[in-house]
A and B are shown apart, each in its own frame.
Chain A
Amino acid sequence: MIDKRVASLAEAVEGLADGSTVLVGGFGAAGVPVELVHAVLEQGARDLTIVTNNAGAGETDVAALIREHRVRKIICSYPRSAGSIWFEEFYRAGNIELELVPQGTLSERMRAAGAGLGGFFTPAGADSLLSRGKEVRMIAGRRHVFEEPLGGDMALVKALHADRWGNLVYNKAARNFGPTMATAATTTVVQVRGFVELGDLDPEAVVTPGIFVDRVVEVAE
């Protein structure tokens, strides 16, 4: 019998090793799996590479991981936002490495990893400093830059509902990076507002099929 449900947040992030790459969903505050990130904080893994769109704000989630010296490197598109004080402080002091990636490239690199592709050529950023050191090729008369796949050891995703097979539906614009990240990690961990029975999710409306999901944990709001 398949049952991907786990009983606690600690169980959800079990086994995360030092030096891991962790994909963290969310755009701004929408879709950030805050409780799972805090579980990583408690779990204690260090020297992490965090892949996420923003670099956290205030004192919670990714900002708390940075504050507690758990993050060696962040790969993101927009680290600067209102309240991103911990990232900015660590960045200025040279205590965190930043790999800046255009947002669509960030998502597509994870898609490539999840899809078993060796990368792709994109026009986004091909005329910019962000293509420095990368292969650039003319395709259909336009410069394209080669981008490599970006997978993770663990993905932390927030969804609305899951069944015990790990099928997922999301809530509004909190979906953002979740479906792509779920495909791109060795272990995909999802926090949901509620479990539903197998068969309760409309098969036509499942957004992430359970094949991409390893563990689901309920975090009531």
Chain B
Amino acid sequence: MSGPQLSHTQMAARVARDIPDGAYVNLGIGMPTLVGDVVAADKEIIFHSENGILGMGPAPAPDEVDWELINAGKQPVTLLTGGSYFHHTDSFMMMRGGHIDVTVLGAFQVSQQGDLANWATDDSNLPPAVGGAMDLAVGAKRVLVLMMHTTPDGRHKLLPECTYPLTAARVVHRIYTELAVIDVGPDGFVVVDMVAGLDREELQRRTGAPLTFADDVAVLVPADA
């Protein structure tokens, strides 16, 4: 993909800006884990991991790795002062029961109604795997999606309807891509931020469903601009 775009770290930083101080946050595996690295130091944010951790901290030094302290992606992490451990059923009560303020998830597709498809594609060679995605998507108070705007071969991921199997219907609030920040409004996708140097027609061309634009679309400046 050519043209102006944000780096992954910039995308994660844009998500982090929307996470309020004091929030309980669950980050999905993959790109969403970057958000944990870029939250502002003046915010106290408590990260939840589905495998039974609140107050999850960053990766440990190599000589302090404990394989009984890992995140949802099975990578070693640490516990911050004040953190706690609990079992899986309690962990998913937090997720399904509306106790998690924000979740940041990756996605294959998002529809203009906020439908989320992030667990299965049409590749029948792969055995299906769902993990905690469905519980998080229905339970978190705010569902944010962090993903690339299109597939690597340029196919649309923001669509009128998802063509891949749904994780959950009408759950996504906001989408962050390398090109834009887009809200799921009552009448479909609403652009709230756009990367500098991209015009509206080009953004629409790369989006599979109609876009409307907020009155005051903010400009995102790529690192190399």
Contact = CB atoms under 8 A, between A and B. Distances in A.
A173 B55 CA distance: 12
Given A172-B69, A173-B53, A77 B89 contact: no
Interface string A116-132: 00000011111111100
Contacts, number: 138
If over half of A's interface residues share one DSSP class (helix, strand or loop), that class is named, otherwise mixed; here it is mixed
B165 A77 contact: no
B138 interface: yes
B51 A207 contact: no
Given A123-B96, A128-B166, A173-B69, A80 B51 contact: no
A190 to B, nearest CB: 14
B77 to A, nearest CB: 8
Interface string A17-46: 000000000011111000000000000000
B68 A31 contact: yes
Interface residues of B, number: 43
B52 A77 contact: no
Nearest to A90: B127
B101 to A, nearest CB: 18
A203 interface: no
Q: Pick from A78, A107, A173 the residue with the most CB of B within 10 Å.
A: A173
Nearest to B125: A92
A86 to B, nearest CB: 12
B88 A79 contact: no
Given A30-B68, A80-B126, A179-B87, A104 B51 contact: no
A180 B87 contact: yes
Contacts of A179: 87, 89
A178 B87 CA distance: 7
B44 interface: no
Interface residues of A, number: 48
B168 interface: yes
Given A104-B95, A127-B169, A77 B87 contact: no
Interface in B68-113: 68-70, 74, 79, 85-89, 91-92, 95-96
Nearest to A27: B51
Interface in A149-202: 170-180
8 contacts: A92-B127, A100-B129, A102-B131, A105-B134, A123-B96, A124-B137, A129-B165, A177-B87
Interface of B: 49-53, 66-70, 74, 79, 85-89, 91-92, 95-96, 115, 119-120, 125-135, 137-139, 165-169
Given A77-B131, A107-B92, A173-B53, 18 more contacts: A27-B70, A79-B129, A98-B128, A100-B128, A100-B130, A102-B133, A103-B135, A104-B132, A105-B135, A110-B89, A123-B96, A123-B139, A124-B138, A125-B130, A128-B134, A128-B167, A173-B49, A207-B87
Interface of A: 27-31, 77-82, 87-88, 91-92, 98, 100-105, 107-108, 110-111, 122-130, 143, 170-180, 207
